[in-house]
Amino acid sequence: MGLYRFSLPVAAAIMMINASLLVQGCLEEERTALLHIQTSIDGPNHTASPLLSWGNDARCCGWAGVSCDNITGRVNEIDLFNVRGWFIDPSKGDWYLNATLFLPFQELNTLNLGWNGIAGCVANEGFERLSRLNKLEYLNLVLNNFNNSVLSSLKGLSSLKHLSLDSNRLNGSIDTKDFDSLSKLEELYLSRNEIQNFVTSTGFNY
């Protein structure tokens, strides 16, 4: 009985130490995944890119644009806003994203991919692959080159609460049923596209 009373606080202390180390160093699988994202991005080598510093040390929770949960140590936010320098140099052209690279981040809450000239995803590697990330609530796709086809790939992201598609290439009529599966969605931004109207399943236009 005495051993039991002693071992419990010791175990708790060990868990706290491990958690502290984890927050500093991050999970190896997530560190590796971040490095794969780094190498997959077309044109990250402009001087302002935060990706230039990625990999300089093992503490990926401290890398620019990367945040981790204080308790679990797992990556919960990835900010890749304008990492390609596309706004600085539009001649870089379009980029096609491999969304599967984000699957290791099981506690990812926020993903910012804005201002990167993304025109779509690699075949069979679209946002639908991220349906397993059930903590993903914020997705920023502002200032890219997505067309209407992106809407169908987003249907599986049922945990989303905030979705921004401002300043893309959405056009014509948008069927509101494309958003029906996003049952938790609270904010949707679609301004500065070329959308003419919204069509519902009842046939009404808005």
- Per residue in 107-160, pLDDT tens? 999 999 999 999 999 999 999 999 999 999 999 999 999 999 999 999 999 999
Quote the number of domains for the chain. 1
- In a domain, residue 142? The reply is yes
17-38 pLDDT, tens digit each: 444 444 455 899 999 999 999 9
User: Domain for residue 82, yes or no?
Assistant: yes
Query: What is the pTM for the complete model shown?
Result: 0.84
Distance CA 57, CA 59 (A): 6
pLDDT of residue 2: 47
Tokens representing residue 203 in the block: 């046939």
Confirm whether 85 is domain-assigned.
yes
Tokens of 36: 């794969």
Report yes or no on 206 lying in a domain.
no
In a domain, 129, yes or no: yes
CATH of the domain at 136: 3.80.10.10
**204 in a domain, yes or no?**
no
The range of the structural domain enclosing residue 7 comes to 2-199
Cα–Cα distance list, 159 to 8, 39, 205 (Å): 36, 28, 27
Q: Flag whether 157 is in a domain.
A: yes
